[in-house]
Structure 1
Amino acid sequence: MSATRVTARGPAVIGGLSRLDRFLPVWIGLAMGAGLLLGRLVPGLSAALDAVKVGEISLPIALGLLSMMYPVLARVRYDRLDTVSGDRRMLVSSLVLNWVVGPALMFALAWTLLPDLPEYRTGLIIVGLARCMAMVLIWNDLARGDREAAAVLVAINSVFQVIAFGALGWFYLEVLPGWLGLSQTALDVSMWDIAQYVLIFLGIPLIAGYLSRRLGERARGREWYESSFLPKIGPVALYGLLFTIVILFALQGGTISERPLDVARIALPLLAYFFLMWGGSFLAGRALGLSYDRTTTLAFTAAGNNFELAIAVAVGVFGVTSGQALAGVVGPLIEVPVLVALVYVSLAGRRLFRAKETAHA
C-alpha cells in the first residue's frame, strides 16, 4: 500500500511501516465506529445504501472493493508471474488449503459450536466456501507478502470458485450431513451467479492494474512508474478499505446492536477459523521451505474469504433478514480486525525465516 520498505531487523519490522500502515488498526477502529454511528443516528441510511445496487451487487461496497484492489494489482510485476506459476509447492498447497481444508474446517467448527442454531451454521458454512479475493490483497501487501504470488493465487482460486462453489455447497449442506445423520439444507446457486462476482471484483481491477503497468512503463519507464506513479495511488487502497468498512457497519450496525448475543455466538467459530487457517498455513509454508513472502501469501490467501459473495448467496437464497445472511455479514466484521492483527504477527514472525536462513548459510 505504501512505498515504504520494511527494515531487516526483527523488532524494527513493524516500525518500518509507513504511518498510515502502522496505525491501520486505529483507522479501522474509527471506521467501524463511524459506520455504527451513521447507521444508528441517520434514519433511513441503511435502507438507502442497501437500495443502491446494480443487479444484486451493492454499488457502494463494489466501489470500495474496486478502489481497494486496483492499487495493489497495479503494483504487480506481471512479467514475473512465470516465477510463481512454476512454484508447484505453493500452488498445490494453496489449492488444498482453500478447497479441502478451509471448507472442512468451517463445517466442523459450525457444527461443533452452533449445533442448536441451524441458520447461523449454514451461513458460516457458506462463508467457508467463499474463498479469498478482495481484501486478502491488502493484508498480503501490508505483511510484505509476494504480490505476484498473491495475484496468481487469487486468480486461480477465483476460477475454482466459479467451478466448485455450487458443488461444494451441495456436498457440505446436503451430502455430508446426510452421511453423518445431521440435518440437511439445500443451496440453489448457479455458476453464473458466482462468475459475475469474480468478473466484477477481480476482472475489472486486474485489467486496470495490468493496463496501468503496461502503458505506464511503455510511456515513462519502470523507474518512473514505481517511484512516482505507484506512491501516488498507494493510499487509495487504504481509503477504499476504510470506506468499505464504514459502509458495512452502517448497513448492519442496527442488527449488530440489537442482537449482540447472536453476533457473539457467530463470532466464536469465525475467530477459531481465521486463527487456525492462518496459523496452520503459515506453519505449512515454513515446513515446505517457502520464503517468508510466499509463506505469508499462502497464509493470507488461505485464511481470507470472499465476504461479498457469501453475503450475496445467503441473501439471494435465504432472504435479507435470514440468520444465514446475518452470519455472512458478521464474517467480514470479525475477519477485518483479526487479519489486521495477523499482519503484525506475520511481520514479527519474519525472524523465524531469518534464523533459518542464517542456520543454512
Structure 2
Amino acid sequence: MTATQVTPAPQTPARLSNLDRFLPLWIGLAMVAGLLISRFIPALSDALHRLEVGGISVPIGIGLLVMMYPVLAKVRYDRIAAVTGDRKLLVSSLVLNWLVGPAVMFALAWIFLPDLPEYRTGLIIVGLARCIAMVVIWNDLACGDREATAVLVAINSVFQLVAFSLLGWFYLTVLPGWLGLDTQGLDVSVWNIALNVLVFLGVPLIAGFASRWLGEKRKGRAWYEEKFLPKVGPWALYGLLFTIVLLFALQGDAIIAKPLDVARIALPLLIYFAVMWCAGMLLGRALGLGYSRSTTLAFTAAGNNFELAIAVAIGTFGATSGQALAGVVGPLIEVPVLVGLVYVSLWAARAWFKTDPYQESTT
C-alpha cells in the first residue's frame, strides 16, 4: 500500500434514528393528542366516526396503508422462497397464533374478568384476531426478518379468513358450555374479515412488491435500497403516529369515562402480550432459528389485529358495548407494550443470541 492509498473504514450498520429512538415519547404524545381531540374537539371525533366504508374507518385505513407500505417496500421478495422452506418457523408460528394465543387469552379473560361477561367476550375476540398490520413495524424496529414477517403475515391472513368465525364459536359457545361457564354468540361475516385483510394487508403488500420490482428494473437495486428506501422509510412511523391519534380520538370518550374498567381490561392484556412474546422468542431460540427469525416469531405471536377485533365487536354487539370497549383498550395497551418489547428484543440479541441485531438485519 502506497502512502497515498487510504483503507476505507468498515461500514457500521445504522443505529436507531432520532425518530426511532424517541418513539415511546412520540407515541405517548400521539395518545394524548387523540384523547384531547376526543375531549375538546368532539365535532372532529364525530366526523371520523362517520367516515366508514364497510365497517372500516377510512382515515384509519389510510394511516395503516401509509404505515405498512414502507416496510413492505423493504422486503426482498426474492428471498421469500427460503422462508417458506423453514418448516420450524412456519409450524411454530401457526401453533402459537392459532392454538396457544386464543387459548391463553380465553384463560386470562376468565381469570381476571369472571364477573364482567361483556369485557371478557371482547378480550376473547381480541385474542382471535391475529396481527396482520402493526407487527411489520415492531418487527422492523427490532431488526427482525422482513421476508419471514411478510410470509407469516400472509399465512395469518389466510387462516384468519378460515378460522376466525370457527374459533369464535368454539371459545364463546362450545368450550364455555363444556366447562359449565356462561356462553356468548358471535356472528361474523367472512366478507368483513376478507375486506379487513384486503385493505390492511393486500393493498400495501401489492404496492410494496410493485415498487421494488419497478424500482430495481428501472434504476437498479443499489438506487432502490440506497436512495428510494431512505426517503420513504420514515413514513412508516408517521403513519403509525397518525393512526394512533385517530384511534384515541375515536375512542377517547369511552377510555376517559371508565378508567377503572379500562384498568381491569388492561391487566390481562398486559400479561397476554408479555407471555406470547416470551413464548415466541424462547421457542425460536430453542429451535435454533437465530435472532432475526425468533424476533419475527415473537412479534407475530404477540401482536393482534385490533382493527378487526374492534370492527367485529362493534358489528356484533354495538359501538357502545363492553365488547367494543375491550377492543379499544387493546391498542391502548399493545402499542406501548410492544414498543417496550422492541427494546427488550434488541437487548436479547446481545444477551441471549450473542449477535448484533443491526448487523444481522443487513446480511
* Same topology, TM > 0.5: yes
Aligned to 2:118: 119
Percent same amino acid among aligned pairs? 73
Shift of 1:23: 0.6
- Whether 1:245 aligns to 2:244 is yes
Distance 1:73 1:355, change over 3 A: closer
Distance 1:5 1:155, change over 3 A: farther
Shift of 1:45: 2.0
Structure 2 SS opposite 1:35 = helix
Query: Could you give the per-residue CA deviations for residues 292-339 of structure 1, whole angstroms, max 9, x where no partner exists?
Result: 000000000000000000000000000000000000000011000000
Q: Please give the alpha-carbon distance, in whole angstroms, between the structure 1 residues aligned to 2:17 and 2:181.
A: 50
Residue identity opposite 1:253 in structure 2: G
Shift of 1:354: 4.2
Aligned to 2:30: 31
Aligned to 2:143: 144
Distance 1:83 1:179, change over 3 A: same
**TM-score, normalised by the number of residues in structure 2:** 0.93
Aligned to 2:287: 288
Cα RMSD of the aligned pairs, angstroms, is 1.3
Long gaps (5+) in structure 1: 8-15
Long gaps (5+) in structure 2: 1-10, 357-363
- Whether 1:76 aligns to 2:108 is no
Shift of 1:355: 3.5
Shift of 1:207: 0.3
Aligned to 1:50: 49
Shift of 1:251: 1.0
Shift of 1:55: 2.1
Structure 2 SS opposite 1:44 = helix
Shift of 1:89: 0.3
Structure 1 SS opposite 2:42 = coil
Aligned to 2:320: 321
Q: Please give the alpha-carbon distance, in whole angstroms, between the structure 2 residues aligned to 1:17 and 1:274.
A: 24
**Kept after mapping to 2: 8 A contact 1:61/1:247:** yes
Shift of 1:254: 1.5
Shift of 1:252: 1.3
Query: Could you give the per-residue CA deviations for residues 121-157 of structure 1, whole angstroms, max 9, x where no partner exists?
Result: 0000000000011000000000000000000000001
**Kept after mapping to 2: 8 A contact 1:291/1:353:** no
**Kept after mapping to 2: 8 A contact 1:271/1:338:** yes
- Whether 1:223 aligns to 2:222 is yes
Q: Please give the alpha-carbon distance, in whole angstroms, between the structure 1 residues aligned to 2:307 and 2:336.
A: 17
Residue identity opposite 1:242 in structure 2: L
Q: Please give the alpha-carbon distance, in whole angstroms, between the structure 2 residues aligned to 1:5 and 1:22.
A: 18
Q: Please give the alpha-carbon distance, in whole angstroms, between the structure 2 residues aligned to 1:344 and 1:311.
A: 28
Shift of 1:47: 1.3
Distance 1:126 1:225, change over 3 A: same
Q: Please give the alpha-carbon distance, in whole angstroms, between the structure 1 residues aligned to 2:42 and 2:88.
A: 52
Summarize the alignment of residues 242-281 of structure 1 with structure 2, pairs less than 5 Å apart. 242-281=241-280
Aligned to 2:335: 336
Name whichever of 46-55 and 291-300 sits farther off. 46-55
Name whichever of 277-286 and 98-107 sits farther off. 277-286
Summarize the alignment of residues 124-273 of structure 1 with structure 2, pairs less than 5 Å apart. 124-273=123-272
Q: Please give the alpha-carbon distance, in whole angstroms, between the structure 2 residues aligned to 1:299 and 1:100.
A: 15
Aligned to 2:309: 310
Residue identity opposite 1:109 in structure 2: L
Q: Please give the alpha-carbon distance, in whole angstroms, between the structure 2 residues aligned to 1:131 and 1:317.
A: 18
**Kept after mapping to 1: 8 A contact 2:54/2:192:** no
Larger Rg: 2
**TM-score, normalised by the number of residues in structure 1:** 0.94
Aligned to 1:12: none
Residue identity opposite 1:82 in structure 2: A
Name whichever of 138-147 and 278-287 sits farther off. 278-287
Residue identity opposite 1:211 in structure 2: A
Summarize the alignment of residues 3-22 of structure 1 with structure 2, pairs less than 5 Å apart. 6=13, 16-22=15-21
Flag as ranges the 4+ runs of structure 1 deviating above 6 A.
none
Aligned to 2:98: 99
Structure 2 SS opposite 1:349 = helix
Shift of 1:352: 3.3
**Kept after mapping to 2: 8 A contact 1:5/1:17:** no
Q: Please give the alpha-carbon distance, in whole angstroms, between the structure 2 residues aligned to 1:356 and 1:234.
A: 24
